[in-house]
């Protein structure tokens, strides 16, 4: 069965039914799918956080090397990761799908199942959307969250002297994508948006800047440094990599440092902490607080005129 067989409103009803079966939680959801717009009622004293991100067939994913469910999960994770990088709690997301009428309904079902699985894991219900006919499939998600007033984590808040940390490990997703690109396996892994870590950081008083690593460590660090007017010194040898990463890279003939620094889509958080005269928290202490492994990878320094070459994923 194809999308065209169900028609626009048949498809909307199908998605609405799937969403109503999911238990993504609806605290603060007043009106969901089916009206002109969704209505949310966040707790008092919170700022409202909004982010949008798209996955386009042929650019960000191929139907041939990952499941529709996996693509759906990754689409929502990309947005949840942006909320995590702001220290926000998710409230809900809208889902705009552009797709050919010849797309199989079971592919749409897979996408929606993936979206709803992540929605349930992270308490971020599907609250609305839009369907359009297009030659190429694209999934555009806008996620809404909230953060205690004035506590959003920003890119421009790094200062010289700050210590630089990352959560988790880097390069694992890029390795899987590189493998799938040469036909060795499918893309199966779905990164974990570091929502708990982001919220813990938003409660700390000595945090500087924060960003999620979507374009690659160096490109995203660049965004922080650009906005903050600083430079950085990194200890590339200290970068946390997945187990057996070097051997896997060697077998594939790719440079492990390049994958870990420029690979993108890790969706780990990069953040800075003010250095204090006292020793400051260790990475292990931070890991306990954030609920995820944390590694110190360098420090922020005063702006250096000559900047290293920018690197990372570019869209145009």
Q: Which position has the token pair 């990878």? A: 297
- Contact between 278 and a copy of itself per CB under 8 A: no
Q: Which residues 182-241 are close enough to bind a copy of itself by CB under 8 A? A: 210-212, 227
- Contact between 120 and a copy of itself per CB under 8 A: no
When binding is defined by CB under 8 A, the residue of 92, 114, 168, 298 that contacts a copy of itself is 92
- Contact between 309 and a copy of itself per CB under 8 A: no
300 CB neighbour count, 10 Å cutoff: 26
- Contact between 58 and a copy of itself per CB under 8 A: yes
Q: In angstroms, rounded to a whole number, what is the distance separating the alpha carbons of residues 181 and 62?
A: 10
79 CB neighbour count, 10 Å cutoff: 25
Site string for a copy of itself, 72-91 (x = CB under 8 A): ----------xx-xx-x---
Q: Which two tokens stand for residue 67?
A: 């499941």
Q: In angstroms, rounded to a whole number, what is the distance separating the alpha carbons of residues 2 and 100?
A: 9
Three-point CA angle 102, 104, 110, nearest 5°: 140
Q: In angstroms, rounded to a whole number, what is the distance separating the alpha carbons of residues 129 and 95?
A: 4
- Whether the CB-CB separation of 131 and 203 falls below 8 Å is answered with no
- For a copy of itself, how many residues bind (rule: CB under 8 A)? 72
- Contact between 316 and a copy of itself per CB under 8 A: yes
Q: Which is nearer to a copy of itself, 91 or 249 (CB)?
A: 91
User: How are beta strands 126-133 and 29-31 bridged, if at all?
Assistant: unpaired
- Contact between 23 and a copy of itself per CB under 8 A: no
Quick one: which segment of 58-66, 114-122, 189-197, 275-283 binds a copy of itself (CB under 8 A)?
58-66
The least distance separating a copy of itself from the CB of residue 56, rounded to whole angstroms, comes to: 5
- Contact between 147 and a copy of itself per CB under 8 A: yes
Quick one: which segment of 96-104, 109-117, 161-169, 290-298 binds a copy of itself (CB under 8 A)?
96-104
- Contact between 9 and a copy of itself per CB under 8 A: yes
DSSP 103: S
Q: Which is nearer to a copy of itself, 43 or 185 (CB)?
A: 43
The least distance separating a copy of itself from the CB of residue 227, rounded to whole angstroms, comes to: 7
Q: Which position has the token pair 């500087």? A: 208
- Contact between 66 and a copy of itself per CB under 8 A: no
Q: Which residues 127-146 are close enough to bind a copy of itself by CB under 8 A? A: 127-136, 138, 140, 142, 144-145
When binding is defined by CB under 8 A, the residue of 34, 43, 185, 229 that contacts a copy of itself is 34
132 SS3 class: strand
Q: Which is nearer to a copy of itself, 75 or 190 (CB)?
A: 75
The least distance separating a copy of itself from the CB of residue 247, rounded to whole angstroms, comes to: 33
Q: In angstroms, rounded to a whole number, what is the distance separating the alpha carbons of residues 232 and 142?
A: 32
- Contact between 49 and a copy of itself per CB under 8 A: yes
Q: Which is nearer to a copy of itself, 211 or 290 (CB)?
A: 211
Quick one: which segment of 149-157, 181-189, 237-245, 295-303 binds a copy of itself (CB under 8 A)?
149-157
| Residue 282 neighbours by CB under 8 Å, 6+ apart | none
Q: In angstroms, rounded to a whole number, what is the distance separating the alpha carbons of residues 200 and 194?
A: 10
User: How are beta strands 89-99 and 163-167 bridged, if at all?
Assistant: unpaired
Q: In angstroms, rounded to a whole number, what is the distance separating the alpha carbons of residues 276 and 274?
A: 6
């Amino acid at each position: 069965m194809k999308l065209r067989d169900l028609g626009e409103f048949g498809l909307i009803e199908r998605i609405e039914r799937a969403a109503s079966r999911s238990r993504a939680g609806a605290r603060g959801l007043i009106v969901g799918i089916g009206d002109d717009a969704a209505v949310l009622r966040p707790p008092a004293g919170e700022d409202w956080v909004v982010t949008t991100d798209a996955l386009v067939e042929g650019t960000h994913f191929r139907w041939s090397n990952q499941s529709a469910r996996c693509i759906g999960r990754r689409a929502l994770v990309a947005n949840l990761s942006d909320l995590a990088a702001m220290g926000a709690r998710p409230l809900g997301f809208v889902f705009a799908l552009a797709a050919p009428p010849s797309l199989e309904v079971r592919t749409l079902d897979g996408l929606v199942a993936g979206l709803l699985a992540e929605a349930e894991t992270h308490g971020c219900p599907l609250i609305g959307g839009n369907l359009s006919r297009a030659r190429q499939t694209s999934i555009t998600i806008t996620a809404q969250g909230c953060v205690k007033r004035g506590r959003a984590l920003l890119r421009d808040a790094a200062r010289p002297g700050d210590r630089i940390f990352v959560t988790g490990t880097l390069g694992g997703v890029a390795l899987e994508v590189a493998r799938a690109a040469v036909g060795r396996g499918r893309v199966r892994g779905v990164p974990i948006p570091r929502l708990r870590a982001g919220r813990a950081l938003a409660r700390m008083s000595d945090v500087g800047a924060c960003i999620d690593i979507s374009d690659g460590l160096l490109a995203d660090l660049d965004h922080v440094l650009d906005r903050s007017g600083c430079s950085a010194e990194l200890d590339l040898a200290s970068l946390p990599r997945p187990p057996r990463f070097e051997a896997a890279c060697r077998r594939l003939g790719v440079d492990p440092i390049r994958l870990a620094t420029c690979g993108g889509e890790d969706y780990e958080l990069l953040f800075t902490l003010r250095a204090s005269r006292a020793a400051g928290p260790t990475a292990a202490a931070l890991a306990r607080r954030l609920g995820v492994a944390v590694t110190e990878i360098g420090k922020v320094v005063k702006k250096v005129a000559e900047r290293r070459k920018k690197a990372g994923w570019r869209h145009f």
